[in-house]
Amino acid sequence: MLKNDLKDIGAESYEILKDLDSIPLHRGQLYETIVTTQGPAHAKNAAPMGVLCKNHSQIILYLNEGSHTSINILNNQYFIVNITQDPLLFAISTLKDMEDEYYEDYNGMPYLKNTDAFFIAHTEDIKEVVREDKFGTTIIHVITARVDEIVRINKGALPLNRGIYSVIETLIHFSRFDLADSETKDKYWNRIKELNRVAQKVGSKKDKEAMHFIIKTLKENFKDLE
Amino acid sequence: MLKNDLKDIGAESYEILKDLDSIPLHRGQLYETIVTTQGPAHAKNAAPMGVLCKNHSQIILYLNEGSHTSINILNNQYFIVNITQDPLLFAISTLKDMEDEYYEDYNGMPYLKNTDAFFIAHTEDIKEVVREDKFGTTIIHVITARVDEIVRINKGALPLNRGIYSVIETLIHFSRFDLADSETKDKYWNRIKELNRVAQKVGSKKDKEAMHFIIKTLKENFKDLE
């Protein structure tokens, strides 16, 4: 459907990339993106979403049952992942419905006009998982999708990954640990454990290694941490 | 001193950039970097440090009196700012003294071998500020420095700024706000105020705007927040 129908996308210049490594999205890391989908009656939807890179041509999404994104992807198969670091696009797509003026069209699919790069993907496999937490029971659709085409509009495009930020914030807490009273130490330590959880879930091998190194050093210096 | 003495820096290829905008470092934003300095008797030092971009050719550093970085810069005038997103370089330079093998030499100044870009700067102005907080009284040297030469080794070099990360984390809390009990709401709200403080201090105009938009929306939906 897509390969033979590459239209002018309206950007001044753009390149077609060959795989996710070229963006770069790295295997095993989870990126903060905005997913755009086409609903019925020309209703477009945009939602911020974590996208796990499975390998150079497949991704995994975890969708809450009943969300617009979930309904549209289950209906359509096709969706677009927008790669951007624009804080306003993330805020607006979380807080409200984006009007039509935010979108451009790529082979009948909506993408975000101001994105730095995007790729179109289609579902290959759908699994249902039941998640139970303190808020109750949620059904999650685990979507494995194949990437069909990757378009880079801005040469400086870079996907957003929370791994390095978790490391930096942990180091900031680390630097203040020595001077903190015992209540503040507890607070910092809980925060570091949460940051480590994020880094292990979304980060690179180096992010994980850095977190292990920091936590090991802290535990050597402060024996009562666990 | 420097312009006429550009030696081979040992990297396979590199470019000289004309100003901070080209890296890009943007005016008014504070970036997480690693500053390398030369001490007496060939002792090199590396320390993670926030660098405020004053304009396209000047930066501001806030140095704790008595730190290695502070002593070396006051002695030497010259220092190097390394632009990297490598979590291990940040962790190692915070947690221990970096051995000589981590450094390369640029006109007699040390920079980090694995950095993506770096620039050399020299002090133009030094002010002393006394900061009082719960940990006691600290003397801060506020250094205004001029950038002499900018070297990009890796084309993908990008300085680290915590603004967008603060926005993303705020949006994650926002999404969970509805379902949270009142104690958890308090916790989220305190965290959001802290993230807003970070974004206003280090972020771009768009980061600040996004934070205002999120906080305004939260306050409209939950009247008792302050």
Quick: pLDDT tens for A22-62: 999 999 999 999 999 999 887 999 999 999 999 999 999 99
Using the predicted structure, report yes or no on whether residue A6 has a pLDDT greater than 60.
no
Of A119-123, A133-137, B142-146, least confident by mean pLDDT is A133-137
* B160, B171, B176 member nearest A91 (Cβ): B171
Asked if omega into B24 is within 30° of 0 (cis), the reply is yes
Confidence class of residue A184 from pLDDT cuts 50, 70 and 90? Answer: very high
Instruction: Please say whether the dihedral angle defined by the alpha carbons of residues B36, B18, B199 and A113, taken in this order, is positive or negative.
Output: negative
DSSP B97: P
What pLDDT shows up at residue B31?
98
| Residues of B whose CB is below 8 A from A158 | 156, 158
How far apart are the C-alpha atoms of B70 and B89, rounded to whole Å?
A: 20
Residue type at position A18: K
Residue of A22, A88, A192 to mutate, interface with B, max B Cβ within 10 Å: A88
Which chain B residues in 69-98 lie under 8 Å from chain A, judged by CB atoms? 85-88, 90-92, 94-95
For residue B155, what is the nearest residue in chain A, using CA coordinates?
A156
Tokens at B77, concatenated = 């005038």
| CB atoms near residue B182 (< 10 Å) | 8
Inter-chain touch B160–A163, beta carbons under 8 Å: no
Instruction: Tally C-beta pairs within 8 A across A and B.
Output: 92
Q: Across the strands, what pairs with A225? A: none
Q: Does B216 touch chain A (CB under 8 A)?
A: no
Q: Does A220 touch chain B (CB under 8 A)?
A: no
What pLDDT shows up at residue B12?
65
Using the predicted structure, report yes or no on whether residue A162 has a pLDDT greater than 90.
yes
How far apart are the C-alpha atoms of A115 and A93, rounded to whole Å?
A: 13
How far apart are the C-alpha atoms of A9 and A82, rounded to whole Å?
A: 14
How far apart are the C-alpha atoms of B191 and B101, rounded to whole Å?
A: 40
What values do phi and psi take at A116, rounded to 5?
Answer: -85, -30
Inter-chain touch B210–A90, beta carbons under 8 Å: yes
DSSP A183: H
Which residue positions in chain B have pLDDT lower than 70? 1-12
| Residues of A whose CB is below 8 A from B86 | 206
Averaged pLDDT score across all residues of chain A: 92
For residue B161, what is the nearest residue in chain A, using CA coordinates?
A165
Alpha-carbon distance A90 to nearest alpha carbon in chain B (angstroms): 7
Q: Does B168 touch chain A (CB under 8 A)?
A: yes
Instruction: Give the residue carrying structure tokens 């963006």.
Output: A23
Determine how β-strand B117-133 pairs with β-strand B136-152.
Answer: antiparallel
Write out the H or E segment, with its range, that includes residue A16. strand A15-17
Q: Does A14 touch chain B (CB under 8 A)?
A: no
Using the predicted structure, report yes or no on whether residue A4 has a pLDDT greater than 60.
no
Inter-chain touch B167–A94, beta carbons under 8 Å: no
Q: Give Cα separations from B101 to A8, A86, A172, B10, B110 (angstroms).
A: 50, 38, 25, 14, 11
Inter-chain touch A94–B174, beta carbons under 8 Å: yes
* B87, B160, B209 member nearest A207 (Cβ): B87
What pLDDT shows up at residue B8?
56
| Residues of B whose CB is below 8 A from A168 | 32, 48, 87, 90, 160, 162
| CB atoms near residue A191 (< 10 Å) | 15
How far apart are the C-alpha atoms of A127 and A118, rounded to whole Å?
A: 25
Inter-chain touch B87–A204, beta carbons under 8 Å: yes
For residue B157, what is the nearest residue in chain A, using CA coordinates?
A156
For residue A218, what is the nearest residue in chain B, using CA coordinates?
B95
| Residues of B whose CB is below 8 A from A90 | 167-168, 171, 210
Q: Does A44 touch chain B (CB under 8 A)?
A: no
Determine how β-strand B30-38 pairs with β-strand B44-55.
Answer: antiparallel
| Residues of B whose CB is below 8 A from A167 | 87, 90-91
- Helices A182-202, A205-221: axis angle to 10 degrees equals 160
Using the predicted structure, report yes or no on whether residue A178 has a pLDDT greater than 70.
yes
What pLDDT shows up at residue A156?
85
Are A73 and A66 spatial neighbours (Cβ–Cβ below 8 Å)? no
What pLDDT shows up at residue B23?
94
Tokens at A6, concatenated = 């590459």
Q: Name the percent of chain A lying above pLDDT 70.
A: 95
* B88, B165, B211 member nearest A210 (Cβ): B88
